[in-house]
Structure 1
Amino acid sequence: MKKTITFGIPCYNSADYMDRCVESILVGTGYADDVQIVIVDDGSTKDDTAAKADAWAARHPAIVKAVHQDNGGHGVAVMKAVAHADGVYFKNVDSDDWVDADAARALLDQLRRFIELEDRIDLVITNYVYEHVEDHTHNAVDYRRVLPTGMVFGWGQIGHFMPWQYLLMHALTYRTDVLRASELQMPPHTFYVDNIYAYVPFPRCRSLYYLDVDLYRYLIGREDQSVNEKVLTSRVDHYWRVARIMMRAYHLYDDIDSAQLRGYMLSYFTIIMAICSVFSKMSERDDAEAQLQALWDELKDYDARMYRHARHHVVGLVTNLPGSVGKSLTLGGYRVAQRVVKFN
């Protein structure tokens, strides 16, 4: 039978925490037979991730599928799950995260209604919650003042997103055919590709729905996590790579008809360039500043209007202040924002 939704779980040496993720989906959706879970073992070698994936599939063969591949990185594993998805809808849940049971039931019920009524909804948006390891606090991100609630809408009806409120991967449930048609370029062995996932498919999403539930629980604070400050700084070149893919996905002023969607995508891309700027300044790489300048030069050559928006918008200005004093101010501003929003 056609599944209502596929949950993809990319796993790499995830044995210590993947069980909670899988179980949260099974319990939250009531072990429903119109739900699919695709666990992708991304070439795990240090633990029994592969065996656990197979065990879950053996235990629930009508629901869980285990897929094994050579290590390709997070984005490759996500798209492998998409390739194996039988669901009309697809949601990625990283193996160290989990879903809220009540919210998962609400999402599944809503998706079933869409399918029963033959309403084509390309993107369903739900809230997510930062679960902070270090102090056991929670920080929910919702869209109540930004998106219409409980109705189908288009990009022309969205409001203004605050910088901490963008539509990250955690908030998104796509129609599977939208993801496949987007032909996402997920570079192998690259972190932070969730930004590509939450950007490139958007122009293909014509109809949207906001379900105001706190579905996704996003664990943050593990020392080996990709968003950990030290880890991110050491992998700033991954962000350069992601920024280039996002840059070249569109000439935003020419390709995006909706002014509201264009404005959102410009703002989001500006944040990505700001992240590149901040962490290039924090990096100990000798070539970091030169590589950052090369990235800005490439953007200017590719699309001068996108460059002007990203570089001369207030966010671009404060994250690229010149000289040693400017660098200190930029990093000081980042520290303040980090303490307030606690995004890593």
Structure 2
Amino acid sequence: MGKVLTIAMPCYNVERYLRRGLDSLADERLADDVEVIVVDDGSTDETARIAQGYVERMPQLFRLVSKENGGHGSAVNAGIDHAQGRYFRVVDGDDWVDTDGLVRVVELLKASDADLFVDEKVEVDMTTHARTHCHLPAGFRLPGVVDFLSVCGDGACEAFLTIHTLSVKTELLRLNNIRLHEGIFYVDLQYVVMATCYAATVQFAPVEVYQYLLGNAEQSVAFASYAKRYEDHAAMVRDILAFADQGRFQGPIAQYLDNRVRLALHTHFNIALIYDEDRARGMRRAKAFYSWLASSHPRFERMVRSRYRKTLALHYLGVDGPRLAKMMGR
């Protein structure tokens, strides 16, 4: 019957973490139904050699694809290109999975025909090792496959549709030519937005799978990293704005898409006005982007105008990333 699930593992210089991730996948219970494609994105350390060892030990389960460095989006694109599984998901090279949980999800996928399959993740602090289990909201512990239109407008659902919790039918990705922007960070949101908008059905499973390592100061979601990679985030936001303004979707899906883009814009103005320690630079960036948004995507400018002004006020009050996080109860 072929593979049920392809797991693409984008890797760039992750020799320090890779064995943990691959060990969590190197289970005989997965060998018949899962393929793990380790995409070595031009690493200069021992990443490829470590991955090759797993390929030699369990060739039915592991494959290695080596390519020139092109960024996370390029590695995900390569994974989609090489995927043989009916479903596709991403596990980054510095993260890992709960093996028993993944085994359970694969059994559920065998019986599912949903376009999207959503499970649960755990956030692990790399310093304290504290674990935060991100449980599915009670309203989404639904039996079987449901119509995506029936849940896509719920904010709790939107927040839970992440690259870490999502398996997507490979055919859906290919038929709709889902390709991520290469050479930049922050394409996770682009992937989720584009893949989910084409979905007709979804299945939720309260099963812990993804183990997401947090706390690295160099992580792309750290405040300083956001400011450093501002142009990458801007490129991603421009991509999803263009996607939204093509007018392909109607009704609840269009509203869902608008909401995802609106939240991305909120984050973008936070990066410029709140996260950037160079306050003058952040102000210049925010004003330039807002001016561009007003001229290129006026519908979205109107949608975020009030929030933009509030973020400006926080900027003038000296609010920074940690203080905003505290204000938001994070």
Q: TM-score, with normalisation over the residues of structure 1? A: 0.87
Q: 1:8–1:39: 8 Å Cα contact kept in structure 2?
A: yes
Residue of structure 2 in register with 1:145 after alignment: 138
Residue of structure 2 in register with 1:117 after alignment: none
How much has 1:146 moved relative to structure 2? 4.5
Residue of structure 2 in register with 1:334 after alignment: 324
Instruction: Give 3-state SS (helix, strand or coil) of 1:136's partner.
Output: coil
Q: 1:72–1:188: 8 Å Cα contact kept in structure 2?
A: yes
Cα gap change, 1:322/1:140 in structure 2, threshold over 3 Å: closer, same or farther?
closer
Residue of structure 1 in register with 2:251 after alignment: 258
Structure 2: which amino acid aligns with 1:154?
A: D
Residue of structure 2 in register with 1:271 after alignment: 263
Residue of structure 2 in register with 1:304 after alignment: 298
Residue of structure 2 in register with 1:23 after alignment: 23
Deviations 1:177-235 (A, max 9, x none): 11223323422221111010111122211111111112111100022222222222211
Match for residue 203 of structure 1 among 186, 197, 208: 197
Q: 1:166–1:268: 8 Å Cα contact kept in structure 2?
A: no
Match for residue 118 of structure 2 among 118, 125, 150: 125
Q: 2:10–2:92: 8 Å Cα contact kept in structure 1?
A: yes
Distance 1:320 1:125 in 2: 36
Match for residue 55 of structure 2 among 33, 36, 57: 57
Distance 1:184 1:290 in 2: 33
Q: 2:116–2:203: 8 Å Cα contact kept in structure 1?
A: yes
Match for residue 180 of structure 1 among 140, 152, 174: 174
Distance 1:137 1:89 in 2: 31
How much has 1:136 moved relative to structure 2? 2.4
Deviations 1:139-183 (A, max 9, x none): 222333353512211232216325993421111100011122332
Runs of at least 5 residues in structure 1 that lack an aligned partner in the other structure: 115-119
Count how many residue pairs are aligned between Structure 1 and Structure 2. Answer: 327
Distance 1:217 1:322 in 2: 34
Identical positions, percent? 25
Residue of structure 1 in register with 2:6 after alignment: 6
How much has 1:295 moved relative to structure 2? 2.4
Q: 1:147–1:157: 8 Å Cα contact kept in structure 2?
A: no
How much has 1:299 moved relative to structure 2? 2.7
Cα gap change, 1:123/1:248 in structure 2, threshold over 3 Å: closer, same or farther?
same
Are 1:37 and 2:36 an aligned pair? Answer: yes
Q: 2:55–2:64: 8 Å Cα contact kept in structure 1?
A: yes
Q: 1:6–1:36: 8 Å Cα contact kept in structure 2?
A: yes
Residue of structure 1 in register with 2:287 after alignment: 293
Structure 2: which amino acid aligns with 1:138?
A: R
Distance 1:37 1:335 in 2: 36
Q: 1:184–1:196: 8 Å Cα contact kept in structure 2?
A: no
CA RMSD for the aligned pairs?
A: 2.4
Runs of at least 5 residues in structure 2 that lack an aligned partner in the other structure: none
Residue of structure 1 in register with 2:162 after alignment: 168
Q: 2:6–2:34: 8 Å Cα contact kept in structure 1?
A: yes
How much has 1:337 moved relative to structure 2? 5.0
Structure 2: which amino acid aligns with 1:91?
A: R
Distance 1:285 1:188 in 2: 29
Distance 1:88 1:164 in 2: 24
Distance 1:112 1:166 in 2: 22
Q: 1:40–1:66: 8 Å Cα contact kept in structure 2?
A: yes
Residue of structure 2 in register with 1:230 after alignment: 224
* Greater displacement, 196-205 / 302-311: 302-311
Deviations 1:59-96 (A, max 9, x none): 11111110000000011011101111110001100011
Instruction: Give 3-state SS (helix, strand or coil) of 1:219's partner.
Output: strand
Residue of structure 2 in register with 1:83 after alignment: 81
Deviations 1:14-66 (A, max 9, x none): 11111111121233x72421210100100001x21111121111111111110
Distance 1:228 1:80 in 2: 26
Distance 1:271 1:56 in 2: 40
Cα gap change, 1:147/1:157 in structure 2, threshold over 3 Å: closer, same or farther?
farther
Instruction: Give 3-state SS (helix, strand or coil) of 1:139's partner.
Output: strand
